Structure 1
Amino acid sequence: MATPRLAFVLGTRPEIIKLSPLVRACLERAIPHVVVHTGQHYSESLDAVFFEQLELPTPTYDLGVGSDDHGEQTATMIRGIESVLEAERPAHVVVQGDTNSALAGAIAASKRDPSLAHVEAGLRSFDREMPEEINRVLVDHAADHCFAPTEESARLLAAEGIDGDRVRVTGNTIVDAVSQHRDLATEKSDVLAEHDLEPGAFYLLTAHRAENVDDPERFAGILEGVGAFATRTDREVVYPIHPRARETLAAFELSVPEPIRLVDPLDFLDFLTLERHARLAVTDSGGVQEEACILGTPCVTVRDSTERPETVDIGANRLVGTEPSAIVAGAEAMVDRPGTWSNPFGDGDAADRILDALL
């Protein structure tokens, strides 16, 4: 095999989804590359199956790191990634987003010869209590190539003193991914029929962030607010619940309002189908904020800050926190909003722009 020009380091579902257009473009353009899966998400049901379903090759390396404290997990990843870089000697290491996998890939690359490319650079929530905020800042400042999804992200990088020669606005690869996977979802997903759902007649909830589901008051507030709005409008809420969130529900002995239906975690194509056909999405996920915006689904974000302010600025999303009354008010304001806003994340050609810049 030829020496890889690119090494992709990933370990979570959002990274798989957002780097999949780059991996596909490498395959189409016959660009030698390797994919290093850290195993940060270690449940087969949560991410390994994505490669098969999204019709991507099995990762070249699977480090199988799994769950641990932040320091132990990141250190184990760095050791594994360094071994791969020593064996493969790629020209560029590509990381995405704000996870411990991205941070580990950035540290390993910055200590060795490859240049470091950060996909989705320049996002800021300005909440330094979030581990992800620290990760994304550190990766941006280590990176040789900061691929910003929007002009606002590029402006934030400039404000932090990052040289403009290192920054390029490419759009967000999530637009590429949604556009590539929408047809796959239509072809492969039966999720609406399986759960007896009518398009436009249900709401979608996701809540998984530690600051929400590990805090009984905040978690209860989300469930109460969403449940109250669903009861008032006589619609069901579908909540694909992460195993960790389900465990904390039991540990806190929280009751789930009747309109909220808990379902097992869904693969990306099923989830994309639900996002596309939901009347409203309520979420604490950055990725869902973007995807709902691209798909024209109104969104309410149950957080105190967001690193996707563009979705709020164009009227696709409302930031409401976790107080039940604020959730109800935000949902009422958003639920009937037509999804006619302009997508702020680009035209679906981000992957090619990134590869052209690197190669």
Structure 2
Amino acid sequence: MKIIAIIGARPQFIKHFPFEKACEDRLNLKTIHTGQHYDENMSAVFFKQLGMRKPDYMLNVGSDNHGVQTAKMMVQIEEILLEEKPNGVVVYGDTNSTLAGAIVASKLHIPVFHIEAGLRSFNKKMPEEVNRVLTDHVSSRLFTPSKIASANLEKEGLVEGVYEVGDIMKDLVIYVEENKLLKSFKAENYYYATLHRPYNTDDSSRLRYVLDSLNGLSKKVIFPIHPRTKNNMNAFDLNIEKFKNIEFISPQSYIDNLSYLIHSDGLITDSGGMQKEAYWLNKKCVTLRTETEWVETLIGGNNILLFEDLSCLEKELLKVNLSWDNNLYGDGNASNKIVNEILRD
């Protein structure tokens, strides 16, 4: 049974690794890398560090406006699918690569398998929200990480082909821990921060406010700077040297990123995936957004949403006596459950 998986952005490389391993000797898996993320530290390092197979197709689409980027992907993906004639196409999450693959496959009447289906932030200004909703509605099978995600689909009339399997990213966190791949760092107290979303980085006053808030914390902040954020800092004349409490480092590989997180005293982020990783590693998280699609992480205050007023950022980071649900988003076996379901055909 031939399956083509479409990847293109950092979160998808993370999700693809467990699926690739689960497919070994069971499915004929081929991979298309759209090139949506192409920076060495945002792409190639994941394949090297995790020992992932080289993609069968590399499109090198690169950066562009949403419409242009998605269209370029669709043209090339269609050519490949017409040649390969797969039994199904796997797409992950909510990027432009996800949407491009889902639209092309559905129009060619190839079953679409959406991994991480049913998530909703209910913020249509986020391109990711548009991508995930549209992808769900053209998918043949929808693999959800939680009951809430499955319920979201039911509210939209999607009840056939829905399977609650847990979160495939949890598979990889468990794999890394069990194989003792996390790195040790010298003992020091710091917070870890990641920012890349437009509403935190594309406006000069907002970005300055966020950086000033991080700079004012009592502990050092280690900040792997996303290319988008770095470019905007340069454009807005926000000199890195002015933020003495922030240690700016290059984007990190998956294992290095988890290692920094697990040794930190808490996470400040606007990422979706890192909210979950912080939860699974029992780290307090403050999410600089007005909403999250991972609403289960908010239960008990383990993750908190802050946006307009960041004056209480430190207070939230210092909260203790939190309780953690070890079964949040499944048992770490989502990838095998997904493969088993695909093979039922």
- TM-score band, normalised by shorter chain: over 0.9
Correspondence for 1:210 among 186, 190, 198: 198
Unaligned runs of 5+ in 1: none
Partner of 2:148: 152
Gaps of 5+ in 2: none
% identity of equivalent residues: 39
Name the SS of the counterpart of 1:57 in structure 2.
Answer: coil
Q: Which structure has greater helix proportion?
A: 1
CA distance in 2, matches of 1:8, 1:170: 18
Show the counterpart of 1:41: 37
Match of 2:326 in 1: 342
Give 1:225 deviation, angstroms: 2.1
Closer, same or farther in 2 for the Cα pair 1:189/1:74, shift >3 Å?
same
In structure 2, the residue matched to 1:23 is 20
Q: Distance in 1 between matches of 2:312 and 2:291?
A: 14
> Residues of 2 paired with 1:169 and 1:178: CA distance?
19
After alignment, is 201-210 or 252-261 more displaced?
A: 252-261
1:268 match:
254
- 2:210 is matched with 222
Task: Look up the match of 1:292.
Answer: 278
> Does 2:281 align with 1:320?
no
Deviation at 1:173, TM superposition (A): 0.2
TM superposition score normalised by structure 2 = 0.94
Q: Does 1:172 align with 2:167?
A: yes
Conserved? CA contact 2:92–2:116, under 8 Å:
yes
2:198 alignment partner AA:
A
**1:31 deviation in Å?**
1.6
* Number of residue pairs the alignment of both structures matches: 341
Q: Distance in 1 between matches of 2:314 and 2:167?
A: 30
Q: Distance in 2 between matches of 1:219 and 1:343?
A: 36
Q: Distance in 2 between matches of 1:187 and 1:156?
A: 36
Deviation for aligned residue 1:344: 1.5
- Contact kept, 8 Å, 1:225 with 1:323, in 2: the verdict is no
CA distance in 2, matches of 1:252, 1:101: 29
CA distance in structure 1 between the partners assigned to 2:3 and 2:230 by the alignment: 38
Structure 1 187/171 Cα, relative in aligned 2: closer, same or farther at 3 Å? Answer: closer
Residue 279 of structure 1 pairs with residue 274 of structure 2: no
Secondary structure in 2 matching 1:324: coil
Question: What amino acid is the match of 1:13?
Answer: R
The residue correspondences of 1:230-241 to structure 2 (distance < 5 A) are: 230-231=217-218, 235-241=219-225
8 Å CA contact 2:181, 2:255 repeated in 1: no
Q: Residue 50 of structure 2 aligns with which residue?
A: 54
Q: Compared with structure 1, are the counterparts of its residues 133 and 188 closer, same or farther at alpha carbon in structure 2 (3 Å cutoff)?
A: closer
CA RMSD, aligned part only? 1.7
Deviation at 1:81, TM superposition (A): 0.9
State the secondary structure of the residue aligned to 2:90.
strand
Structure 1 residue 188 displacement after superposition:
6.8
- Work out whether residues 54 and 181 of structure 1, in 8 Å CA contact, stay in contact via their aligned partners in 2: no
